[in-house]
Every structure is written in structure tokens, then in C-alpha cells.
Structure 1
Amino acid sequence: MCRIHGQFNTPARPHELTAVSAAQHHGGPDAQTQAAGPGWALGSNRLAVMDPAGGAQPYRLAVMDPAGGAQPYRLGAHITVVFNGEIYNHDALRARLRARGHHIPDRCDGSVLPALYAEYGTAFTDHLDGMYAIAVVDTRREPTLVLAVDDMGMKPLYYQHDPHTGRISFASELPALLAFDTVAARVWEPGLDEYLATKTPFGEQTMFDGVRVLPPASTLIATRGTGPRLIHRTAEPRPADLALPEAAAGLLDRLRHEVHRLLRADVPVAAVVSGGLDSSLVAALAAEAHPGLHTFTIGYKGDNWPGDERHFARQVARRIGAHHHEVELDPAAFPDLLPDVVRHLGQPNADPITLSSLALFREIRDAGFTVALTGDAADELFAGYDRVRQALATPPDRPWAPAYTDALAAVPRALREELYTADYRALLHDREPVTDRLTRHLATHDGERLATLTRFETGIRLPAYHLRRVDHMSMAAALEVRLPYCQSAVHHYARTLPAHLKVTPQRGKDVLYTAADGHLPRSVLTRPKQPFTLPVTAMLRPGTPLFTHARDILAPGRLRQGGRLEPARVQRLFTEQAQRPCDRSALAIWALLVHQLWLDRFFPADGASAATGGRADREPAG
């Protein structure tokens, strides 16, 4: 597991690469290395998980000139690779490549990548099983840059392409990308509306103008003579005709195999247990192969906060014989922790669990663990969300997509329009509203409704909203998080299952509940579903540190400087929350607080915004 960065079509400048590396050192504290050639540079920050004594990056393969080749290779040609992630089938790949005459110097998973690319070219990703963001520079003929991310988007890769110079800059984290001298930080002005409508930007767009993120299952290819070309790798599953018991048994077999495989590491491994179905089943299966497994959950000091799941997590830990740890976070620490959360995310994410996640991951790392397994992505794969069940329950003669897209918002559409200044509404005037665009996107996909929703949930929302949060918060603590439900054997199988095996009138994830029966306490299997999140509605009330901090950050003077939000309407949100606390006003305040902290971090002179006719200044990342 590492952080990676680099540039292409531009001279390498060592001081610049050092600054970029320093900006994401937290994610790879074990080694910082670079390689460069004419017009390119690659760098890596390593978090040693497999073969700590080997696996030095960048990986390089010297290429000999093929005798009699019609297109001889360049003198001194190399395939050079940097890599972030884990390749779980590296042993099988190493054996295959050695049988074909390649020298693989050690047993680190990433060491197979140059030879694999030499054998298969840009199709090398077809042979990978794991989570990854990979950069390849191939100088055999015309120098070529290849960037690739895994099928689920577990390992993000951000980039900027300058169409005038052809320069491409990339990094695993947004603050690191901004540390390149040539990458300017500019606010993407529609971003506030997009963020409030979906809790974080979806798709390839980021909150920085001109900065993009590779979508899941994609490969970017560029040469010096051509701009970047993005290839989307797709594979549609074939529906399976299975009864529920057979489908649940097949799911359990696949999940068990992946959990056991993901426990393999040369460093200590733990598991996160929220007390819900998804993470509890992962922990139960992990305990089968890892006696004495350590499990971690989080709670909050003070009042009897709603939604406290610690007693369920304790029951799971007792059932599976785990050494259980409860991390208790003090709400008084939230104002000090939030800037770290915002900095490491790089752009706003309105999920309050981001704060809890960073605190939890830091505690796991401080306890001596470098790898942790979690239960993320089960809701997306097996229709666990209420909004999906409600969309499926909508009669065929009534539109289902508008209510579904409204449920994605941090701030409902009507309230968003009340919050915006006249200048910001004018800036958005010619843009199709976000919820309308998403509704149209969903309506244009023919076929079975749950298949459409699953494609959207797993292909668009999951990588943007969940997986980037998990990656950035865990790597901020130098902790590698592994995601069994995102493994190809599990998510491909999930997509073959028909809707009636996933959703019933009573609950979603029916096949997963059936698979877990007998492995978890009955209390966990029969409890009402609730999200693993921070009880922000209860914590945002007068007199609490979070409420006071939010009022200070969203003070009228700051909002006037930005020119996007009406200060008086934002202050009414605080009045409403003080008098009649509710999820609507609490989440709106939280989302606006995170956005303002992001502006403060990356655009401290944000008074000069496009909404007010100026230009945002750039803050050096670090």
C-alpha cells in the first residue's frame, strides 16, 4: 500500500517531486522514492505491508532490443511502474511470469507489475485481482503513460491535463496534486450546488476546476503526441437462476474465501465492527482463520447518544472470540479534529462519519495494526438502503427516480435554493439542476430497476462518497483498509442475483442475512437497520462544542466574503436546529460547515470567488 504521484510530458524537477511526496507522506511513511527520465517522473510513498524488506518502488524492467524486430526498442528502454494498493493474486501471477522467463526479484505483490505489463500491455489489468491505482511509463518506443484504477474505484487517482502543453500531473491525494507548481487550485464554482445535492461530487469532476479523478474500472493512456485517452473496462454479469438457500450458500463461500485471503499480510491485521450485519459477518469469517482477532468499534463520550451500537459490537466480539477494543471519541475534540478531516479528504464530503472514521483509524494504527478489514459496500451490492427499497416499491405507472435522487442530498433542493445568493443562483442558471440530471441519467437506462440502481450505487455513488472517504481517512493514519465486499468474486456474484433474493417487503440484503444466519448473534440479525454514523442531530444543539464551532465558522462575515450563501438564511438554520432539532437542519449545517472549512483550508482568500467576479488564490498544499 502506498501513495503515488508523477508527471508526464514535462521536465522532472526534483524539488517539486519532493514537495508532492511530502504532502502525502502520512500515507506512505516507510519509504519515499522517485524515478525520472526525459519528460517524465514517477514517485512513491510506501506503506510496507507485503515483503517489507523487498518491493522497492519504482519497479523497473529493462527491455532488450528484440532481434529482428520491425520496430526496434529505444536504447535503454524501460517499463517503470509505481503502485498503490494490494494485488491479492500476485503469487499466481509471479509463478506464471517466471515460467515465461521473467525475473521477479522478491515476493512483494507490486513487483510483478512491470513483467505483467510487458506481457499484456494496457490489458494487464485484466489479470489483476485486488485494489489498485497504478502508473506505468513505457519508453520502449514512443514514451507512453498508462494510469489505471481497479474495478470498484477503491484506490483513487487524481490528475490534471493541460491541453496547451500536454502536461499530465497526478497523485493519490488532492493536496499532493496541488503541491505541483503547475497545478493551480481554483474553485469549481458549480461545486457547492453539486456537493449539497449529492454530499460529494460524483463522477470524474472534483471541487477543483480542471482537476479530475479516474473513474472505476478505467485506464488512461497518453503519449507525447496525443492527449489522454480514457478507456472504460466493462463486464456485464449473466443473471443466475438460484433459490435463496443456494444463493446464500454461494455468497457465503465466496465471502469466506475473500476474507481469509485478505488476512494475509506481513504486518498485524485487525477488523472494524460497527455492530451491524455487514462488518460483523466479515469479522466472524476473519476469526475463523485468525484466532485471537482484534476488533475495533467507536462510541462517544458524554450523553447516551442515539444510535450507539457498541453493545451489538460487544456481542459479536464475544461470539467470535475476538479481542475487542472500544474507541471513545470526545465531542469536545471535534473542532480540533475537523480541519484534519477536511485536509485529508481534499474536497468536501458531507458524511459525518468521516470524522469518526479518522479517529477510529488512528486508534487502530496506534494499537499496532497496519491493516484492517471493514464491511463497506454491502449496502450498495445487496440493496440495503431504504431509498432503494422505496424506489423498487414505486408502482410502474409512477416515476421513482425523483424521490430517489432527492434522498441522496445533504440539503433538499428547495432549501438549497433558499440558501443561495442571487449571484450564485445566476451562476447556476444555465446549468441543468443536479437532481434533474441524475433523474434523467437513471431514466435512460433500460432494463430491470434494481440492476439500474445497483449500477448507479456501485459505479457512481460508492467510489465517490464511500470509498474515497475510506481510503483518505485510513491512509491519513497509515492504515491499509481492505474491503472484502469489493472483491471481484463477491461483487460480480452479487450482480448476478435477481432482485427478489436481495429485497423483500420487510428488508433489503435478504440473501446476505440468510448467509449470516448461524454465524452472528440473533440480536444482530434481528435488530433494525441503522447507518454507521455520527449522531450529528443530537450533537448539534446549543451549548455543545460542535454547535458553537459551526456558528463561528459560518459567521455572516465569512459567508458574505464567499458570495455564495445568504448569511441570514444560514443563521435561520441554527435557530431552527436550536428550537426544533431535526436531521434536515442538522445535516445542512454540517454540510455547510465542512464546505466552509474546505474553503478556509485551500482558498483562504475566497472573497474573490467567481460568484463575486474575482479569482480564488492558491494555497500551497502540505
Structure 2
Amino acid sequence: MCRIFGHFDAEATPHELKTVAALQRHGGPDAQTQAAGAGWALGNNRLAIMDLDAGDQPYRLGDHIVAVFNGEIYNHAELRRKLTAKGHTFTDTCDGSIIPALYAEYGREFVEHLDGMYSIALVDLRGEPTMLLVTDEVGMKPLYYHWNASARHLYFSSELPALLSFRDVPARPWEPGLDAYLATKTPFGEQTMFDGIAVLPPAATASFTRSGGLRITRRPVRNAPFAHGDAAEAASHVLASLREEVHRLTLADVPVSTITSGGLDSSLMTALAAGKVTDLHTFNIAYRGTWPSDERAFAREVSERYGTQYHQVEIDPASFPSLLSDVVWHLGQPNADPITLSTYALFAAVRDAGFKVAITGDAADELFGGYDRIKAAVNAPSGTDWVPDYVEALAAVPRSLRESLYSPEYRSFTAAHGSSSDAIAESLRASGTDTMATLTAFEIGVRLPAYHLRRVDHLSMSASVEVRLPFCQPSVVQYARSIPAEFKISGDKGKKILYEAAAGLLPDSVLNRPKQPFTLPVTAMLRPGQPLMEYARDILSPATVRRRGQLDPHQVDALFRAQATAPSDPAAMAIWSLMVHEIWLQQFCGPAARTAALPVESPR
């Protein structure tokens, strides 16, 4: 697991490259290495997980193929044996060292042989110099880039703050970003909150040459036909696949831990890992004081059942204002889910306890229909339009409320240019008549990498912790894509098949409890007298709001008054979301940066 960065057909001083490396050192504190040539450079910050004393990057094959790598390749031993049989030699057993030889054998199709989570940058100096950037099928390891088409300059990095430290990469807010962010909690797709900076999509290969410029191709979704039989047979298949993947993902040359929130998904991961790892340590986070949705009792019960070493992490709500600034910085762009604070503090505690790897239950809801919005859409009466309610459920702030908060200029701008909500609704309606298949494709292919996986990656690596995701492994994802709706959702209960798979493995209290999110009780914490409320008022002062130009300061003040007199989830989430956005602007775009709406143009 590492952080990678570099440029192609561009220039960067040694000082710039050192600065980029320094800004990502938290994600790779064990070694910082670089390679450079005429117009190109590749850099790496290493978090040593496999073959701790070797595995130096960049990896090379002769003088012409150079690569850096972030992630884990789980089938590297098998690939090394095959490549050795073809005449290649290796000096270590690190997973990434097979990449140059694999590329030499298979060219750009080398990625088809990889099983793991990864982002890879490779320079091929045979013939016209070429750079390839590659991402895994689900998007577990993000890669951001700035492409200047006129100058043919490319810069890339695993994290946005590091990318912005290249002098030729501008930090300009993307004008539609505020509306897109409030509509989906963070921008979906390839666009980031910065104008001119994109994120490589999942299952992508980007190729750069001076003559050809930038070309991005997407590998097709891997769908495998399965004979499901009945629900019991399908549940047995899910459990067998998860057990195999969890056991495989426990292989490392450092201790492996698990995260146990107290819910089904992470508890099942802990149960399965305990069957492979002796003296397993598991971590749960809670908040000091008495707050809604405390899950520590469930997490402790799972730990006691499997004899794991249980770590109770507690954070003080009084520390949230200072934590929030760090969280926004590491994410590099706004994410409106309050769980970001919990996630950041949790992984810091994991690393403080001496662990560099943690297995989590992330992505189960996307794969198996766990969210209320998915259940509502699948259960919608025949002939009704489920799309508007589903799209509204994605939002940080309901559409009517967010539009009421906009200044007249920004409201006109969004009306003329269209909202991301409308674009999502249009794409969902064009996806076909199978509601479950449409939702699964969107949740896994669009929302999961943008909203969920980037958050998990950046906040775990901020503490030098590698997260491993059994639910994101190809065998599990492909099977989940093929499962019919009735195996996933039964009335108001989602993840039906996953509950069946976990039956007998988890305490009844965990299996039978109502689903609740692993998140921050933000409504309770955004009340008069709470530190978070006072901090939000300071951040969103009328003068600041007025200077930005996108929000109406009178409406924002009315929002605070409403939350003070009659606290509600929508008002609390709106305040939280606007606060996070303003912190982001101050950190990356300067406290005086104005983001007033552009002149209104006719939609194209």
C-alpha cells in the first residue's frame, strides 16, 4: 500500500516532487522514492505491508519500463510463478514487483490478470514515450490528475492536496460544485470540486503520448452467469465467497485487525477473520457522553463471542471542530457525511495501537440492497416512478431547501446549467426496466467509488492504515450483481441473503436489531450550547457567506435560527454540509476567494 504521484510530458522541479511526496507521507511513511527522465517523473510513498525489507519502488524492467503502484495485488504469487516460467527473474516477493514483467508480456491488457485493489502508473520508453494510469474494477484506490490539453501536460497524484502542490495545477473551485455536492454529498463521476482536476474512474486505463494526448478506456463490467437455486443455496454461496476472500485478505507481513461497528456487515467480517487470525484485534468507535445510535454493546458482544481483543475508541465531541479541519484537508474536497469525523478518529486509533491493516465491511449495502432508498425503489408499486424519491434520498440537503439557500445569481446559474440531480434521474431512467439491476449498477459503479471508497481510502491512509474490503472483491461483486431482487430485499428488510448467510455466526442481538447508520449524531450535536454549533456559526458568518456569492446570508441565518428553536435532521445536515464546504474553500482556495456565479448561458 502506497501513495503515488508524477508527471508526463511536463516539468516539475526536484523541490516540487519533494513537496508532493511530503504531502502524502502519512500514506507511505516507510520510504519515499522517485525516478525521473526527460519530461517525466514517477514517485512513491511506501507503506510496507508485504516483504517489509524489499519491494523498493519504482519497479523497473531494464531501462525502458518503469512503474509505481498503490494497493495490493492478491494473486501476485501465482503471477510471479507464471512470469518466472516465462524467463523473468525477481529479487523480492513484494506484490507490486511483478507489474513491469506482466506489462512486458501482455501490454495494456496486463491489468486483466490482476486481482486486487490498485492504482498504477507506468512509463514505457520503447518507441514513443507513453504513460499509463490504471485503476481497479471498483475504484478502491483513487487517482487524481490534471490534464492540460493545449500544452499536453499531465500531473497525477493519489491525493488532491499533493496534486495541487504542482505549480502548474490550479486550485479553482468548479462552479457547479456547490449544487452537485449538496445534491449527492460529494461530486459523483470523474469531476472533482476543482475545475480542471478529474479522478480516474474505476476499471480505467488512461494512456498519454505527445502525439495522441489523453485517451481513457473503460474495461467492461465483469458479469458471470450463476445458477442461484433457492435463497438458501445463494446464501451458502455468498458465505463461502466471503469466507474465502476474508481469509485471503488476512495475508500480510504485518498484524491484521478488523473494524466492528456492531452492525451486520462488519460483525460478519470479524467473525470470518477470527477463523483465520489468531489473537485478532477489533476496533469500535463511540462518542463520549450519551448520544443516539450508540452501538458499542453490539460490537463488544461480537468480540466476546469470537474471543478477539476488543478496542473501544472514544472521542470527545468538544474536539470535533479541530478534527473537522484535518478531515477536510485529507479528503481534499467536501464530503457531507458526518461519518468522516468518526472514520478519521477511528483509524488514528488503529494505527496508535500498532496496526497497519484493517478489514472492514464497507460496500455490503450497495451490493445487497441495504439502504432504505433501494428498498423503497424496489418496493414501489408497479407503474409508479421511483426515481425522484431515490435521487432525493442521495442528497445532503433536500432540493427545495438547498435552492432556497442559494443567492439569486447562483440559483439562476444552476437553473441554466442543470442540476446533477436531474442528470442522475435521466441516467437512471435510461438504464432499463429492471429496477434492481439499475440500482445495483448505479450504487456500485457510480456512488460507491465517489462517495464511499475515496472517503475510506483517504481517511485510513491519513493514519498510515491500509483498509481491505472483502465485499469489493471480484468474486463477491460479480455474484451480487447477478442476484435477483427477491434474494436481496424482502418487504422492509434489505440484505436478506446476507442475513441468511450470517445466521448462526452472529449473536441474535446483532441479527435482529434495527439497521442504523454508523455515523455521527449530528442533529443532537448541532444544538445551542454545543461546541459544534458555535463553530458552525463562526465558519458561516454573514460576511463570509456574502463574500462567496453563492448563498443568501439571510437564508443561512434563518437556517441557524430554525435549528436553534426546533432542531431537525434536514436543518442540521444543511448546516453541517455548508460548514464543510466553507472549510474546504478556506483551506484550498483562500479565505478571500470569491465563487460568485458565472454569467448565465443557454444550456447546450
Could you state the TM-score of these two structures normalised by the residue count of structure 1? 0.95
- Return the alpha-carbon distance in structure 2 between the equivalents of residues 92 and 447 of structure 1: 41
State yes or no: 1:185 paired with 2:171: yes
Q: Aligned pair in 2 of structure 1 residues 605, 582: CA closer, same or farther (>3 Å)?
A: closer
Map 1:522-533 to 2 at 5 A.
522-533=508-519
In structure 1, the residue matched to 2:491 is 505
Map 1:25-424 to 2 at 5 A.
25-62=25-62, 77-234=63-220, 235-238=222-225, 240-302=227-289, 304-424=290-410
Q: Report the Cα offset of residue 604 of structure 1.
A: 1.6
- Return the alpha-carbon distance in structure 2 between the equivalents of residues 542 and 463 of structure 1: 36
Q: Unaligned 5+ residue runs, structure 2?
A: 600-604
Q: Aligned pair in 2 of structure 1 residues 216, 359: CA closer, same or farther (>3 Å)?
A: same
Q: Report the Cα offset of residue 287 of structure 1.
A: 0.3
Q: Aligned pair in 2 of structure 1 residues 350, 412: CA closer, same or farther (>3 Å)?
A: same
In structure 1, the residue matched to 2:602 is none
Equivalent of 2:426, from 440, 444, 447? 440
- Return the alpha-carbon distance in structure 2 between the equivalents of residues 447 and 289 of structure 1: 42
SS in 2 for 1:180: coil
State yes or no: 1:474 paired with 2:474: no
SS in 1 for 2:138: coil
Q: Aligned pair in 2 of structure 1 residues 239, 398: CA closer, same or farther (>3 Å)?
A: farther
Query: Which amino acid is the alignment partner of residue 89 of structure 2?
Result: H
- Return the alpha-carbon distance in structure 1 between the equivalents of residues 496 and 505 of structure 2: 15
Q: Report the Cα offset of residue 609 of structure 1.
A: 2.5
| C-alpha contact (below 8 Å) 1:563/1:607 kept by paired residues | no
SS in 2 for 1:6: strand
| C-alpha contact (below 8 Å) 2:550/2:596 kept by paired residues | no
SS in 1 for 2:6: strand
SS in 1 for 2:217: strand
Query: Which amino acid is the alignment partner of residue 237 of structure 2?
Result: G
- Return the alpha-carbon distance in structure 1 between the equivalents of residues 11 and 337 of structure 2: 40
Q: Report the Cα offset of residue 305 of structure 1.
A: 0.5
In structure 2, the residue matched to 1:493 is 479
In structure 2, the residue matched to 1:11 is 11
Q: Report the Cα offset of residue 241 of structure 1.
A: 3.5
- Return the alpha-carbon distance in structure 1 between the equivalents of residues 122 and 268 of structure 2: 37
Q: 1:88-113 CA deviation, whole Å, 9 max, x = no partner?
A: 11000010100100012200000010
Q: Report the Cα offset of residue 416 of structure 1.
A: 1.1
Q: Report the Cα offset of residue 52 of structure 1.
A: 1.0
Q: Report the Cα offset of residue 39 of structure 1.
A: 1.6
Count of aligned residue pairs for this structure pair: 598
Q: Aligned pair in 2 of structure 1 residues 386, 419: CA closer, same or farther (>3 Å)?
A: same
| C-alpha contact (below 8 Å) 1:54/1:108 kept by paired residues | yes
In structure 1, the residue matched to 2:571 is 585
SS in 2 for 1:170: strand
SS in 1 for 2:445: helix
| C-alpha contact (below 8 Å) 1:358/1:473 kept by paired residues | yes
| C-alpha contact (below 8 Å) 1:55/1:106 kept by paired residues | yes
Q: 1:521-570 CA deviation, whole Å, 9 max, x = no partner?
A: 00000000011111111111110111111111111011011111111111
Query: Which amino acid is the alignment partner of residue 240 of structure 2?
Result: D
Q: 1:481-526 CA deviation, whole Å, 9 max, x = no partner?
A: 1111001111111112111111111311011000000100000000
Q: Report the Cα offset of residue 583 of structure 1.
A: 0.9
In structure 2, the residue matched to 1:70 is none
Query: Which amino acid is the alignment partner of residue 182 of structure 2?
Result: L
In structure 2, the residue matched to 1:71 is none
- Return the alpha-carbon distance in structure 2 between the equivalents of residues 596 and 170 of structure 1: 25
SS in 2 for 1:464: helix
In structure 2, the residue matched to 1:462 is 448
Q: 1:178-234 CA deviation, whole Å, 9 max, x = no partner?
A: 011110110101000000000000000000001000111111011121111111111
- Return the alpha-carbon distance in structure 2 between the equivalents of residues 608 and 257 of structure 1: 52
Q: 1:244-267 CA deviation, whole Å, 9 max, x = no partner?
A: 111111111110011011111111
SS in 1 for 2:416: coil
In structure 2, the residue matched to 1:565 is 551
Q: Report the Cα offset of residue 580 of structure 1.
A: 1.4
- Return the alpha-carbon distance in structure 2 between the equivalents of residues 145 and 603 of structure 1: 30
SS in 2 for 1:372: strand
Q: Report the Cα offset of residue 610 of structure 1.
A: 4.2
| C-alpha contact (below 8 Å) 2:8/2:40 kept by paired residues | yes
SS in 2 for 1:441: helix
Query: Which amino acid is the alignment partner of residue 34 of structure 1?
Result: Q
| C-alpha contact (below 8 Å) 2:523/2:568 kept by paired residues | yes
In structure 2, the residue matched to 1:516 is 502
Percent of aligned positions that are identical: 59
SS in 1 for 2:417: coil
- Return the alpha-carbon distance in structure 1 between the equivalents of residues 578 and 135 of structure 2: 31
Q: Report the Cα offset of residue 423 of structure 1.
A: 1.5
| C-alpha contact (below 8 Å) 2:281/2:310 kept by paired residues | yes
SS in 2 for 1:429: helix
State yes or no: 1:22 paired with 2:22: yes
- Return the alpha-carbon distance in structure 2 between the equivalents of residues 542 and 346 of structure 1: 29
Q: Aligned pair in 2 of structure 1 residues 182, 607: CA closer, same or farther (>3 Å)?
A: closer
Which has the higher mean CA deviation after the structures are superposed, 356-365 or 490-499?
A: 490-499
Q: Report the Cα offset of residue 612 of structure 1.
A: 7.5
- Return the alpha-carbon distance in structure 2 between the equivalents of residues 94 and 449 of structure 1: 42
- Return the alpha-carbon distance in structure 2 between the equivalents of residues 107 and 496 of structure 1: 36
- Return the alpha-carbon distance in structure 2 between the equivalents of residues 258 and 524 of structure 1: 22
- Return the alpha-carbon distance in structure 1 between the equivalents of residues 187 and 366 of structure 2: 18
- Return the alpha-carbon distance in structure 1 between the equivalents of residues 49 and 516 of structure 2: 33
Q: Report the Cα offset of residue 430 of structure 1.
A: 1.7
Query: Which amino acid is the alignment partner of residue 278 of structure 1?
Result: D
| C-alpha contact (below 8 Å) 1:239/1:495 kept by paired residues | no
SS in 1 for 2:127: coil
- Return the alpha-carbon distance in structure 2 between the equivalents of residues 559 and 489 of structure 1: 48
Q: Report the Cα offset of residue 10 of structure 1.
A: 1.6
CA RMSD of aligned residues (A): 1.1
Query: Which amino acid is the alignment partner of residue 50 of structure 2?
Result: M
- Return the alpha-carbon distance in structure 2 between the equivalents of residues 434 and 506 of structure 1: 28
| C-alpha contact (below 8 Å) 1:58/1:82 kept by paired residues | yes
Q: Unaligned 5+ residue runs, structure 1?
A: 63-76, 614-622
Query: Which amino acid is the alignment partner of residue 335 of structure 1?
Result: P
Equivalent of 1:431, from 411, 417, 431? 417
State yes or no: 1:536 paired with 2:522: yes
Could you state the TM-score of these two structures normalised by the residue count of structure 2? 0.98
| C-alpha contact (below 8 Å) 1:563/1:612 kept by paired residues | no
Q: 1:311-364 CA deviation, whole Å, 9 max, x = no partner?
A: 000110011111101100000000111110000000000010001100000000
| C-alpha contact (below 8 Å) 2:175/2:598 kept by paired residues | no
